[in-house]
Amino acid sequence: MSVSYRSDATDTPDWTGIPAMPALANGWALGRMSALDLHAVAEIESRAYTHPWTRGNFENSIKAGHMGLTLRDPLGTLVAYAVLMPVVDEMHLLNITVEPHRQRQGLGRLMLAVALATSHTHHLHTMLLEVRPSNTGALALYLEAGFVEIGRRKGYYPAAGNAREDALVLRRAWPGGEDAA
């Protein structure tokens, strides 16, 4: 079978409403990130970013109670993951990554829809994230998904050499609906 989410799956998410858990194509599996995933996660991370999280960063994140989500293809290969941190009544998207060879197949869109739906399931109806202005691909995805820019953190990210890059702070909020606490 094809490994492309786009060709296998249902429709592009409706980003305007209350986030719903997307249907997965046959054989695809969502999971919670555990210690067993950390080797594969850190390996993908090291190829996906110029300034990646370390394996220890993921380990600490899970220990701190953040929610790690994994997506595996029908062969059981890890292809994407996300890390969510609940803070009071908001969910922070700390990390969302698609394996570099699997990018631009709709998996980032799928993972973001999963992250938003997971947040809703936990009765958190606002998501916040930071993104580099230079990360135009991710930025395009977030704007498509209904996020709006609410601020900018000066020099937030390390950049090439000793330089720093700002972070754009993006937010999306939606009504609590029937699931509201």
Ligand X SMILES: CC(C)(COP(=O)(O)OP(=O)(O)OC[C@H]1O[C@@H](n2cnc3c(N)ncnc32)[C@H](O)[C@@H]1OP(=O)(O)O)[C@@H](O)C(=O)NCCC(=O)NCCS
- Specify binding-site residues: 135
Task: Tell me how far apart the alpha carbons of residues 151 and 139 are, in angstroms, rounded to a whole number.
Answer: 14
What does DSSP say about strands 78-87 and 67-72: parallel, antiparallel, or unpaired? antiparallel
Alpha-carbon distance of 181 to 31, in angstroms, equals 24
The continuous run of DSSP H or E covering 144 comes out as: helix 136-144
**Catalytic-role residue among 5, 81, 142, 157:** 142
Q: 96 or 127, CB closer to ligand X?
A: 96
Q: Interface with ligand X includes 38 (CB under 6 A)?
A: no
- Binding residues for acetyl-CoA, by number, are 135
| Residue least distant from ligand X (Cβ) | 108
If binding is defined by CB under 6 A, does position 24 make contact with ligand X? no
CB atoms within 10 A of CB 51: 10
98 is a contact residue toward ligand X (CB under 6 A): yes
Query: Tokens 């991710």 appear where?
Result: 138
Q: Is 142 tagged catalytic?
A: yes
Using rule CB under 6 A, residue 159 touches ligand X: no
Pairing of β 126-131 and β 90-98: parallel
Nearer to ligand X, 136 or 176 (CB): 136
Pairing of strands 148-158, 90-98: unpaired
Instruction: Give the shortest CB-140-to-ligand X separation in angstroms.
Output: 4
Indicate whether 158 belongs to the interface with ligand X (CB under 6 A): no
* Active-site hit among 43, 130, 149, 165: 130
Q: State which H helix or E strand residue 116 sits in.
A: helix 107-121
**Nearer CB in complex with ligand X: 102/125:** 102
What does DSSP assign to residue 74?
Answer: T
Residue 141, interface with ligand X (CB under 6 A)?
A: yes
Residues that bind ligand X (CB under 6 A): 48-49, 96-98, 103-109, 131, 135-138, 140-141, 144
The residues that are catalytic are 130, 142
